Amino acid sequence: MAHEGVVQYEPVAEIGGGAYGTVYKARDRQSGQFVALKSVRVQTDQDGLPLSTVREVALLKRLEQFDHPNIVKLMDVCATLRTDQETKVTLVFEHVDQDLKTYLDKAPPPGLPADHIQDLMKQLLCGLAFLHSNRVLHRDLKPENILVTSRGQVKLADFGLARIYSCHMALTPVVVTLWYRAPEVLLHCSYATPVDIWSSGCIFAEMFRRKPLFDGNSEVDQLGKIFDVIGLPPEEMWPTDVTLKRQAFKPRPPKPINNCVPEISQEGANLLLEMLNFNPLARISALKALEHPYFQEG
């Protein structure tokens, strides 16, 4: 980690404060390129090293060597010592002008063409399959951190950051959206790569609907909205080690997915249901999803 690098980047604008603090658009004084700066303050150990953060960042740096087209580039990592107990780590990413949320908002009615949605979805799943094969969870996938370049290239951003920021997160009053969160996360169970597939399913539906599929305002409300669509899971599928019991929800049958996402094709609807399986172990993987007949359409 470079200790002097931050001066190389000249901030030009604030691009918004997310759960991870303020993000700046900056110019690299050497190349003239625009970059995005994200900083986090981390506690250091007795040797002055933020150990878990160093490990997480090393993992992100390792992914860089693959130069994957659907992953935002981590160009640099700078660490500045603030105090003996605290280091400021700045991650320098390539800058992409728009995210999927803006992209969907800008699409003229009646929305994105079907083949366009298929292409965006394929790229999103390619990026995820790459992360998952390297044992990286995204954990916070939503339209705001899926970037779309002017040429229509999808790049996943903010992956792996949830772990770097987790200790820091408790301090920020930012309301984190629950709309893309998998049931096992809402129920506080242990979770793994299938959480990202659930989020991708929610995003897939949103590309057609141009509004969120499940827009809950609390964990219980979010689960209720999910069960309104996929039905209340049977008792034997309900996780055993959770405080929120199945009895808290009224029984309801699944709705035909075409009612919620009318424009989707039959194969698209089949894929969506495999992504929105309540049971994470039965949920389709990113690699398997890429082989789905939906991607052979058109």
d(CA 164, CA 271): 32
Long-range contacts of 64-67 (CB under 8 A, 24+ apart): 66/130
Catalytic positions are 140
d(CA 169, CA 173): 9
Closest C-alpha to 41, from 205, 171, 209: 171
Task: Scan for tokens 């003996």, then name that residue.
Answer: 84
Phi, psi of 131 (to 5 degrees): -60, -50
According to DSSP, the residues that pair with 230 across neighbouring strands are none
d(CA 172, CA 131): 27
CB 35 within 8 A of CB 26: yes
d(CA 172, CA 258): 39
Q: Coil, helix or strand for 17?
A: strand
d(CA 298, CA 292): 13
How many residues in total does the chain contain?
A: 298
Q: Is the peptide bond before 110 cis (omega within 30 degrees of 0)?
A: yes
Provide the angle, in degrees to the nearest 10, between the axes of the packed helices 266-275 and 194-209. 140
The overall longest dimension of the chain from CA atoms, in Å, is 61
CB 197 within 8 A of CB 289: yes
